[in-house]
Amino acid sequence: MIQNPLKLQTYNDGLVDIYEAVSPRKIAVAPKIKLRFEDRTIGVTRHYAAQQANAKIAHVLRCPRIKTVSTQDIAVLAGHQYNITFIQYPKDVTPLSMDLTLEEVRGNYAADN
C-alpha cells in the first residue's frame, strides 16, 4: 500500500498568546503559552457551517500541538481577543499540529489581578 508523505508544516505567520480564562470575563495576567502559527484559509464548508450556528469565524490558526490548550482558553492575536471554539488535530503533517478555530470575543476579558 502506498502512503502519502507527511507535509512538513511551518509556523511563519506570527505569534498568538493563549490565556487561561480564570473566571467569567477574566483572564490570567500572563499568557500560559505563546505559540507560533500559520494562518489557514477558512474554507467554504466551515464558513457556512459557522453561519448556521450563528458564529463568525475570524481565524483558523495551525500551531504546534500542545495538549494543554483547550476551548476554555482565550487567544490574543494582534491585541484582539478570540474564543477558541474548536480544536482539530490534522494527521497529515509533521511536526504534530493543531488547528485552532477562533471567534472574536464580544466584550473583552479583563486581566485578573
Residue 47: its pLDDT value, please? 60
Which of 6-10, 31-35, 45-49, 72-76 is predicted with the least confidence, judged by mean pLDDT?
45-49
Answer for the pair 61, 100: CB distance below 8 angstroms, yes or no: yes
CA–CA distance, 80 with 4 (Å, rounded to integer): 38
Average pLDDT, the chain: 89
Confidence of residue 18 (pLDDT cuts 50, 70, 90): very high
pTM: 0.85
pLDDT tens-place string over residues 39-79: 998 877 766 666 666 678 899 999 999 999 999 999 999 99
Backbone angles phi and psi of 25, in degrees to 5:
70, 15
Q: What pLDDT does 31 receive? A: 95
Query: What separation in angstroms does the CA of 7 have from each of 35, 68, 95?
Result: 20, 24, 9
Going along the chain from its start, the domains and CATH numbers come out as: 7-107 (2.40.10)
Q: Sign of the CA dihedral 10, 12, 13, 15?
A: positive
Task: Please tell me the distance from the alpha carbon of residue 27 to that of residue 29, in angstroms, as a whole number.
Answer: 6
Arithmetic mean of pLDDT, 22-30: 89
SS3 75: strand
Cross-strand pairs, 18: 33, 75
pLDDT of residue 52: 64
How many degrees, rounded to 5, is the angle at CA 29 between CA 23 and CA 35? 100
H/E run at residue 45: helix 44-52
